[in-house]
Structure 1
């Protein structure tokens, strides 16, 4: 499974780079695949075949030149990298390794052209020690693979165990698969000699575990605690499907691995079908081995063709290939390091060509080696992560950013929704009270039709704030501004109509006959559709020229991509606000002029104060809105809508509800006549 995932990671990285128009423009990155054999002799044979590009290799001769291979990405075993490294040094061809870091390969006197992707770290031995100390395990057995990494791990671990007073019952090394020829001659550890040891620390690959399990018949040694110290043990589950005994034997064991992720890789693997890479023999074998079908017709015709809808989702045990391992991340980083080095080399050659006529098609491995050395040095400083990712605390890996927006999961978003719900319910209750007492003098005297329109408009104002909460979409971004502008236009035009009604009601005696007829006919109600129509025209121009849209802000916060609505045309947005401001100022002016008129229920004073609150909220909104960013901007807009609407509701309707519910004696025709008579006596 690990080899299949390594191959898939390589294909994925190459495809990503070739689709990137900025990294390697007009350049297509390709690759050759070669097997890493178990013996040094076969390993060097493969390398010589690659160098000469013939089945019978000829040293120092390159028989084909149409493919320019400038470097090698080598496997996870340091023995393999060391074996081919000496030969590659003769031709100054760079080698990039994706295995665990090893100090032997970092010797620049021996391996001048070798670069290790994985950083040097001592966290593994410290993690094992911490685990042993946490559970109080002081008597352990060590089983380590006999390779470079195993010997280095054993040296570091035994030193740490001695310093923590943890005793080692036995230490055994097992031959790796490169030394499997000696397996039957030397034999392996017999765990029956160590029955009192309940904790084993195992350091080796999946192949080492399988060989160790088979040859020693350790199925009988259950109820032991195993600590699988090798960090790339995420594929152990795939072995369980073939060796059921391993599942029961290693139940409850510990393994170490880093949580890594390759953006887009899981989706890439899930989307694979037999039609992908038809010329690749490796993928042909992949479908044959795991699905027992052939992606294309075979000459022998034994296997049936794979169904068109088959994919990795259809087989549970293959899901393990989607678990990102540390070597896979290193392969992905290695391919990108190669691409960045090639990008820098091509860029430098382009700059030189502008001053001197040179052959730009000639790219030599040693030139690439020098440029890669410079890139690897720059990597120690920093290679910027893609815009959709951010660096981890160690600054050696890029992690995907999470999307965020003002939602119910945020305490601020939840609080705003709760406030909006409370005000919506309150408005509905007030509307119910007015409907129940619609024939009472206080409601009749203040134009109950306009009062009902105003209450419904305020209810819509509170409810429109729900459009601002949640993940933005193109529809919600447009509806936010249209609904906000129209319902507030309806509110303000209704308030303006009410103030005009108050003024005309007390000036009707002084008006001419024609004006009195128009007043009686309710001509003042035409203010509402006229104001509404003008706002519709403004919104039509806005939506027709530059409507709101979704914007992803990946720069404001370190580990988040903030999804919010962009206003589109800022000028149009402020024109809509300015029109609302004109309506509010007009309503305030008319209400202020009518504040001393002998209104029986004194509504003109309430209208004046409500407009004062409304204007104060939106005048404060402008500087605060400009000084905030991201989700806070949305919260400020929602808060302003709620505050201004609540001000209108409280100033205009709460006093009337107080009289209707708590002072019914003032809400009577007798009281109305007494007040009218009293005011008439004062006037005359």
Structure 2
């Protein structure tokens, strides 16, 4: 249209969010469409405030998530954040922090920077960076704000940092010194997605003062590119004081290094290109729709286009670029969020390349938004492979995390799991307790079945005790056989022959009852073994007490005038045995009827084992049984001790004294030994006490008699038994 003032139907721009906001508030009143190709502030997506604002550059809404996904991809859980001192950068930096924490990471520090800050304030920020153990820093800042911090870090030789930049950074090597720029080698930068622009390179090579004579910037570019100067302008010469060749305008642009065109970062140019095409498609669709409705061409003139009509068609724009990318605006006027991940690569000859190494596409399924080609990444010269940036090393299996007081959750100590617990995964905060029938392995990474333990016949200890019990019982039978063979001899008839037989039988049963303690405990054996042992031993001790009383009465009643003569006979011994046994029988009967013992699987006493044992029910009854048995033994010991002055030819009271001394000693030592052991050894201690105390009674009382009966029969006479003095008195 060859008109001085053609109709305005749309605006491209502005680059900065702050300027775009001011424009959008005014243009929204008139529904004038505005497409920005660089503004990122999330506030501009609010269509209530900015109804006619659209943009082709991705909004900053999802960039924090993109950065957090990148950090998660490399398992960088301990990072620092630098933010420019502006509202938009501060807001997005807080969102980056939230995203990092949401992914299980931690932020070592979050500091604001600005080129207007004092040197002291910038030095403090540099101190925080220098002292931090984080190897990765997210820089959500502008290049002019980053420059002073890099200068301080360069002076302190801080070269091990890997930087991750947001799209707020403008990649401009000429802004930095050579040394500070090299600090950014290996950095990763998010930029708006850039595709190919057809014929753009050819257009650049056709630039020249003759093509754009009115553009002063073209002349400045020409001077910079070829080191020449236009004759009509000598400002550069005055400033530099150098002799420069004159510019002719015929210089060949193809000889210029491509970096001079900044072809590595065309994100803003590309999105301006998309904005122009969005307008073109909107106008095309609008005119095409009008043509279909107006077959006579009455209203098809472009002069009748209104801004609100263009805005209406912009919402419906949907086209593909030559690279196959879908371009459309959502309900907020934003295009799909797609970022390129770029890698700053600085080579030894100081040449710089910006290489695309991946992308973030919000349209992909969760967890697959970011795709990286790690092979193409050139890391900082201090790293051959991706660096590690963690506060604490992972806790291996068998260990759990223990938080450090006052530090983030990523900083922790690794402590081994407690007894009975395992950790079969790394980095867990709580160990898991094994089931009752299992226990942790040595490395505490899995549960193993516990060993079931009881005193069995296959166990060497159990087999030895069982053999000892059988041998002792056979020895008892042999002694009983000897006594039966020589039952009419004086030494057998002395002190109540029936008591000797009963004592030998009970001792044999004592030895055999110990077999009930060996083997897998079941209800029957648990219920009867302790009462049976207590009752049989009580009968044995009662027999010994009766024999001791019989000895005393026999030697005290030798005088015909002594009143004890009427007690001589079997009545007193039998009465002692019966009465003493009845008391123990009452205790055992009450024990079995009220609180019987039962088998129990004990998995708490010893790690790695399930001890099958008999629970004695009411333990006090067990000690009552032992106490009563001990009481009888002590009485027998005292009576036998007092009768030790009887005739020396064969003083059975002395042997009873020694036997009861052994008996009492065994059972007094049994109690602490029994209480200090557990499992099969507790049972073994009780069996040993039964066998040793029974063997003491058997050998100390009956072995001397068998010795005389079998080896010295001439001593088996009444005179030798009671002594000549007492024999004369009896006669």
Q: TM-score, normalised by structure 2?
A: 0.41
Larger strand proportion of the pair: 2
Q: Rg bigger for which structure?
A: 2
